[in-house]
Amino acid sequence: MTTTAQPQRRRRRTGSRAERRFALLFLLPAVALVLTFRIVPLLWGFGLSLTDATGLQQGQFIGLGNYAEMAGDPNFRAAMRNTVILLLTLPVWVLLPMILASLIHLGVPGGRLYRSVYFFPAVLSSVIVGSIFNVVLRYDGALNALLGFAGLPAIDWLGSGSTALLSLLTVQLWATFGMSLLIFLAGLSTLSSEMIEAARLDGARLWQVWGYVILPAMRPIIEFVAVVTTIGVLTNMFGLIYVLTAGGPGTATTLPEFLIWLEQGQMGRPGYAAALSMVLFALMAGIAWIQIRIMSRNAGL
Amino acid sequence: MADLILNDVRKSFGSTDVIRGVDLTIEPGEFVVFVGPSGCGKSTLLRMIAGLEEVTSGTVTIAGTDVTEAEPYDRGIAMVFQSYALYPHMTVAENMGFALRLARVPVPERRRAVEEAARILQIEPLLDRKPAQLSGGQRQRVAIGRAIVRKPRVFLFDEPLSNLDAELRVQTRIEIARLHAALGATMIYVTHDQTEAMTLADRIVVLRGGVVEQVGRPTDLYDDPDNAFVAGFIGSPRMNLLPARATGPQSLRLGTLDLTLPQLESRLTAGQALTLGVRPEHLQDAGQRIEMTVDVVEQLGSTAFVHGALGPDLPLVVEARGSRPAMGDRITIALDPARLYLFDNDGQRLR
């Protein structure tokens, strides 16, 4: 850790040769674990992505064939389109918990209760969440019954291509925003109350205190929540998709991780699935890179 | 016209009374220090003046206007906080100009005001930095600068030096005194440190338990305290307060020592329990002599504080100027009746 954090000191050698050798010994278990369970599978996966393996027999090397096929694969394009839609909803994933956390922080009546209620779904498994919302959202479900009472026409929330993805995202939002809310609450509690009072004395009305002081001071946390949420929705929605829509109707709710599972487990094409995984990996590596940049930019704050 | 008038101001949190009726008038240009032990309500009183804390009853008047219900920014005050309370994402210049920006003051005028304040505080080279890049002392200057820029009627300081180290504290204290002289503004300053109070104040307000114990010039409080609390709080090291018993209208017994106080105007009843106060610096000159064994010496070079006892439960601190007493020495001290303070059982002064 210290050598990567302080590159200018990397070349300074500490201790005798025997000590350094001993230090390597202590590093060995961690290095071995990372190599065995992270690096090797990654390289293996990359190798696999260059073959037409079917799972039953060793595949033939086909170069970048899988990647070329991806470009013309309508399922892959649908998954990417869905990913873009998902990323476009990101402001909601960040703003909703932030606004609710601010209200709780400002001390609305019953704030403690709201905090527990909002967080509660975060402890449910996605299969349970999916089962609950299956009851609510299916065509003869509770939501449509409610709409019926209000005299509104029923909508096939999960079965129609235009609503399925947004329904799915809403369910995931309901299930996970409690965690973001807690992160925001923790961030808000570190703001100095004297700073907010100073702003009031400087003449800031409530919304100005919010816009000029609280929001900028919360920026690192907003960025953190944005990145964590993005990675979360890209890697943790499988269970929900499986239970609620199975990627359908058509490809309306097929996200990359679901597609990987389809190709690997259902279509018996581990080679192609490995190529898809590589793309998802690259996508998330890009996000992680942005995350590291954001964090180092905020280090001086 | 007075700059600030507090009229029977009270504050309760639920059933707890924090401020229990404070009356105070502060004249323009005065430097007033609220001092008292922690929990005495001095910060709460300051925050009530600022409008950050609601007033339960009574009125706060600033420059002739009743501001009891007014918002903080409508009161013509500026406040410097103990934690500096700077905005971490703004530069020093933006911090100092924030109030003017909110008031929609044009940019050139704003810049002029910020530069003027920065010049007074000698922080011009720091204007483009962020608070995180500043030392504690520099942050404190920025916080003061932010107050100056607003040209307030009254400056409020809430323990502004508590987060600084000892050397910087002395230095900043002098600068605040200089600033007060330069700006001529009314300043109210809260501290628990009686040295800060003595050195800065035109008038000191000593608070205890939400009540004003005494208001007066620093020398008045030092020379003529109204009660044993003020006598013990003002002065360093603190006044020796010893239990004594009256033996006649003007005489008393302290341990094995009989003392007569000819200048005492009130009359004592024999057997009355009393507290006798005498400052460490007043035990070396004329008066009734008595010997004491030195237990501990705090040697400061120019002077030394000698700890000893006149008898069981009668510990005494003596300032020994110009001598170098050692542990175990016998020294002679002098109790001058004119320098003795007498307090009754409730701590009220008997003159």
Domains of chain A: total:
2
Whether the CB-CB separation of B185 and B155 falls below 8 Å is answered with: yes
Q: Which residue of B has its CA nearest to A214?
A: B87
pLDDT at residue A4 above 50? no
The domain made up of B4-232 has a fold known as: Rossmann fold (3.40.50)
Write a three-state SS string for B179-222. HHHHHCCEEEEEECCHHHHHHHCCEEEEEECCEEEEEECHHHHH
Tell whether A206 lies on the interface with B, counting CB pairs under 8 A: no
Per-residue confidence (pLDDT) for residue B96, from 0 to 100 = 95
Picking from A194, A198, A217, the nearest residue to B89 by CB comes out as: A217
Whether the CB-CB separation of B11 and B48 falls below 8 Å is answered with: yes
Per-residue confidence (pLDDT) for residue B208, from 0 to 100 = 93
Burial of B124 (0-12, 13-18, 19+ CB in 10 A): middle
Whether the CB-CB separation of B310 and B241 falls below 8 Å is answered with: no
Calpha distance A257→A236 (Å, rounded): 9
The alpha-helical segments, DSSP class H, found in A49-160 are 65-72, 74-88, 90-106, 111-119, 126-137, 142-149
Q: Is A229 a member of any domain? A: yes
Is A301–B78 a contact, with Cβ atoms under 8 angstroms apart? no
Averaged confidence pLDDT in chain B: 91
- Kindly state whether residues A210 and A163 are assigned to the same domain: yes
Strands B349-350 and B288-299 come out as unpaired
Quick one: average pLDDT of A91-99? 90
Q: How do residues A30-54 score in pLDDT, each as one tens digit?
A: 999 999 999 999 998 888 888 887 7
- Kindly state whether residues A129 and A38 are assigned to the same domain: no
Q: How do residues B124-138 score in pLDDT, each as one tens digit?
A: 999 999 999 999 889
Calpha distance A232→A242 (Å, rounded): 16
Whether the CB-CB separation of B243 and B329 falls below 8 Å is answered with: no
Picking from A195, A208, A217, the nearest residue to B102 by CB comes out as: A208
Q: Which of B81, B104, B130, B159 should one mutate to test binding to chain A, selecting the residue with the greatest count of A CBs within 10 A?
A: B81
Calpha distance A263→A276 (Å, rounded): 9
pLDDT at residue A2 above 50? no
Domain harbouring A113, CATH code: 1.10.3720.10
Picking from B73, B82, B85, the nearest residue to A195 by CB comes out as: B85
Q: Is A299 a member of any domain? A: no
- Counting every residue written for chain A, the total comes to 301
Tell whether B128 lies on the interface with A, counting CB pairs under 8 A: no
Percent of residues in chain B assigned helix, strand, coil, to nearest 5: 30, 35, 35
Picking from B86, B102, B132, the nearest residue to A301 by CB comes out as: B132
- Kindly state whether residues A249 and A171 are assigned to the same domain: yes
Is B98–A199 a contact, with Cβ atoms under 8 angstroms apart? yes
Edge-to-edge strands, sheet with B251-254: B257-260, B251-254, B240-248, B273-278, B341-343, B349-350
Is B81–A301 a contact, with Cβ atoms under 8 angstroms apart? no
Calpha distance A75→A254 (Å, rounded): 8
Is A202–B79 a contact, with Cβ atoms under 8 angstroms apart? no
- Kindly state whether residues A167 and A33 are assigned to the same domain: no
**Residue B160: cis peptide before it, omega within 30 degrees of 0:** no
- Kindly state whether residues A118 and A217 are assigned to the same domain: yes
Tell whether A217 lies on the interface with B, counting CB pairs under 8 A: yes
Q: How do residues A74-87 score in pLDDT, each as one tens digit?
A: 888 888 888 888 88
Whether the CB-CB separation of B12 and B57 falls below 8 Å is answered with: no
Picking from B72, B90, B132, the nearest residue to A200 by CB comes out as: B72
Strands B203-208 and B31-35 come out as parallel
In whole angstroms, what separates CA B287 from the centre of its chain? 32
Calpha distance A263→A49 (Å, rounded): 12
Confidence of residue B288 (pLDDT cuts 50, 70, 90): confident
Is B81–A194 a contact, with Cβ atoms under 8 angstroms apart? yes
pTM (2 decimals)? Answer: 0.77
Tell whether A199 lies on the interface with B, counting CB pairs under 8 A: yes
Cβ atoms within 10 Å of A153's Cβ, excluding its own: 7
Tokens of B106: 């044009």
Q: Which residue of B has its CA nearest to A204?
A: B102
**Bridge partners of B343?**
B275, B349
Quick one: average pLDDT of B237-264? 90
**Is residue A292 within a helix (H) or strand (E), and if so which, with residue range?**
helix A270-298
Per-residue confidence (pLDDT) for residue A298, from 0 to 100 = 60
Residue by residue, DSSP assigns B284-302 as SSSSEEEEEEEEEEEE-SS
Strands B257-260 and B31-35 come out as unpaired
Whether the CB-CB separation of B215 and B24 falls below 8 Å is answered with: yes
Calpha distance A85→A70 (Å, rounded): 19
Calpha distance B189→A195 (Å, rounded): 19
Give the percent of chain B with pLDDT over 70.
100
ipTM for this prediction: 0.84
Whether the CB-CB separation of A168 and A174 falls below 8 Å is answered with: no
- Kindly state whether residues A119 and A236 are assigned to the same domain: yes
Burial letters B209-241, b for 16+ CB under 10 A, else e: ebebbbbbebeebbeebbbbbbbbbbbeeebbb
Q: Which of A190, A192, A201 should one mutate to test binding to chain B, selecting the residue with the greatest count of B CBs within 10 A?
A: A201
- Kindly state whether residues A100 and A210 are assigned to the same domain: yes
- Kindly state whether residues A61 and A94 are assigned to the same domain: no
Coil, helix or strand for B340? coil
| Range in A21-30, A54-63, A252-261 the model is least confident about | A54-63
Q: How do residues B47-98 score in pLDDT, each as one tens digit?
A: 999 999 999 999 999 988 999 999 898 898 999 999 999 999 899 999 999 9
Give the percent of chain B with pLDDT over 90.
68
Residue with tokens 């000593």: B206
Q: Which residues of A touch B83 (CB under 8 A)?
A: 192, 194-195
Backbone torsions φ then ψ of B247, nearest 5 degrees: -115, -10
**Bridge partners of B31?**
B187
Q: Is A84 a member of any domain? A: no
- Kindly state whether residues A95 and A198 are assigned to the same domain: yes
Residues 219..258 of A with a Cβ closer than 8 Å to B: which?
A: 219
Q: Which of B52, B114, B144, B159 should one mutate to test binding to chain A, selecting the residue with the greatest count of A CBs within 10 A?
A: B52
Picking from B73, B82, B133, the nearest residue to A201 by CB comes out as: B73
Residue by residue, DSSP assigns B71-127 as -GGGSSEEEE-TT----TTS-HHHHHHHHHHHTT--HHHHHHHHHHHHHHHT-GGGT
Give the residue with greater pLDDT, A268 vs B308.
B308
Is B83–A201 a contact, with Cβ atoms under 8 angstroms apart? no
Tokens of A229: 């949420």
Quick one: average pLDDT of B5-19? 92
Tokens of A288: 């992680």
Q: Give B313 to chain A, closest Cα distance, Å.
A: 45
In whole angstroms, what separates CA A168 from the centre of its chain? 14
Residue A49 structural domain: 18-67
Whether the CB-CB separation of B188 and B26 falls below 8 Å is answered with: yes
Check whether domain B237-350 has CATH 2.40.50.140, yes or no: yes
Q: Between A and B, how many CB-CB pairs are < 8 A?
A: 67
Residue with tokens 């307030």: B152
In whole angstroms, what separates CA A282 from the centre of its chain? 14
pLDDT at residue A13 above 80? no
Q: Which amino acid is at A14?
A: T
Tokens of B204: 């000191």
- Kindly state whether residues A145 and A187 are assigned to the same domain: yes
Name every residue whose Cβ is closer than 8 Å to that of residue B131 and which is 6 or more positions away in sequence.
Answer: B84, B86, B87, B88, B90, B92, B95, B139, B142
- Kindly state whether residues A49 and A144 are assigned to the same domain: no
Q: Which residues of B touch A213 (CB under 8 A)?
A: 87
Q: Is A78 a member of any domain? A: no
Whether the CB-CB separation of A180 and A119 falls below 8 Å is answered with: no
- Kindly state whether residues A247 and A124 are assigned to the same domain: yes
Confidence of residue A3 (pLDDT cuts 50, 70, 90): very low
Cβ atoms within 10 Å of A236's Cβ, excluding its own: 14
